[in-house]
Chain A
Amino acid sequence: MNFLVVVEVTLRRGIADPEGATIERALPALGFSGVSNVQAGKSFRMNVEAENEDAALDKATALAERLLSNPVIEDAVARLAEVHAT
C-alpha cells in the first residue's frame, strides 16, 4: 500500500522562535488582531510504501527523527494525509 504522510517539524517548547515572533509582530500592522502563539516550522509530504497505516507512520517517524528534525531543538510529528490506491 502507498500512504501519503505529512511530517510537521516544529521547534521544541522553550527554544526561541525568532521567525514565529517576527511574523506575529507583523500581523497587527496588516489588520489581523487576536492572533497569538505563532510558531514557524516545516512541513514535509511524502508517499510511503508500507503494509499498513501504522507501519507507514512508524517509517515516517523514524526518518523524521533521523533526518528531518534535530531532536536537540525540534519535535517531529507524522500523520496520515490520505490513502492512495496502489
Chain B
Amino acid sequence: MTRIAVVVFPGSNCEYDALTGVESLGADAELVWHSTKDLSGFDGVILPGGFAHGDYLRPGALARFSPVMDAVARFAEDGGAVLGICNGFQVLTEAGLLPGALQKNAGLKFLCQPTTLTVTSTDSILTANATLGQELVIPINHFSGAYVCDDETLARLEGSGQIILRYVENPNGSRGNIAGLANERGNVVGLMPHPERAMSTLLGSADGRVLLESFVAPRVRA
C-alpha cells in the first residue's frame, strides 16, 4: 500500500482534506509535524494548503526553514513524489524546489471559486493518469496565487513540458495561465487549485480524483 506523509506546519489548514482525499483512494496516509527530520518509509509527501507560520513575511518564506524541509529536499532528490497544494506550492517555490514565485492576485481579491483547468502535460506524478487536453473543474482558494517567473524560465518551462495544468480563464494574473507545474524530473509538483476538495460529485466535483490517483499510484522512483 502506498504510504503518504501529509506535513503539518503551524497554520496549515487543509491537512485533513489531503489526508482523507488520498485515504479515499486506498493510500495509507499519516500526518507528520513540521519538526520531523525523517521521511523514510513514505512513498509520497504532501505539503497541504493553509497559512504556514501565519504566512508572515511572504507565504512560505518561514515554512521553507522548518526542519522538515531538508528532509523534503532529500526525499525529492531521491526521486520521491512531492506534492505542494496551494500554500504547499508557495513553500516549494520559496524552498527552490520549483522555479518562480507566487505573487498577490492581480485583482487583489482573495479568490474562492471553482476553476476550469486544462491538463497540458501528463509527464508528472500528478497528471500521469490524466489525458492531455482533459478539462478539470477544481476549486481555488488563495490570495497569492499569481505565478511569476522571468522570460527565460517561462520559455524553459514551456519547452520541457513542466507546465502541467493551466487555467482556461486566468483568475489571478498567473503568467502563461499557469495553475500547476512540475520540476524537470516530474516528481515534484505544485499547484494552486485544491484537488483534495474535488473528490466527490456530491460536493461539486470529482475531477481531483484523477490527479490524486496519479499521485498515490505505486511507482518506481524516477
Contacts and interface: CB of A to CB of B under 8 A. Distances in A.
Interface in A25-76: 67-68, 70, 72-73
A69 B104 CA distance: 15
Contacts of A82: none
B108 A15 contact: no
A18 B107 contact: yes
B61 A19 contact: no
A85 interface: no
Contact of B57 (A16, A18, A68, A72): A68
Given A18-B105, A19-B104, A72 B173 contact: no
Contacts of A15: 103, 148
B69 interface: no
A70 B61 contact: yes
Interface in B97-153: 100-101, 103-108, 146, 148-150
B170 to A, nearest CB: 13
Interface in A1-23: 11, 15-16, 18-19, 22
A70 B94 contact: yes
Interface residues of A, number: 11
A70 B101 contact: yes
Interface centre among A11, A68, A73 (most CB of B within 10 A): A73
A20 B42 CA distance: 44
Given A18-B105, A72-B148, 19 more contacts: A11-B103, A15-B103, A15-B148, A16-B148, A18-B104, A18-B106, A18-B108, A18-B173, A19-B104, A19-B108, A22-B108, A67-B57, A68-B57, A70-B61, A70-B101, A72-B93, A72-B100, A72-B149, A72-B150
The 4 closest A-B pairs by CB, nearest first: A72-B101, A73-B101, A18-B108, A70-B101
Interface of B: 57-58, 61, 65, 93-94, 100-101, 103-108, 146, 148-150, 173
10 contacts: A16-B103, A18-B107, A18-B108, A18-B173, A19-B104, A68-B57, A70-B101, A72-B100, A72-B149, A73-B103
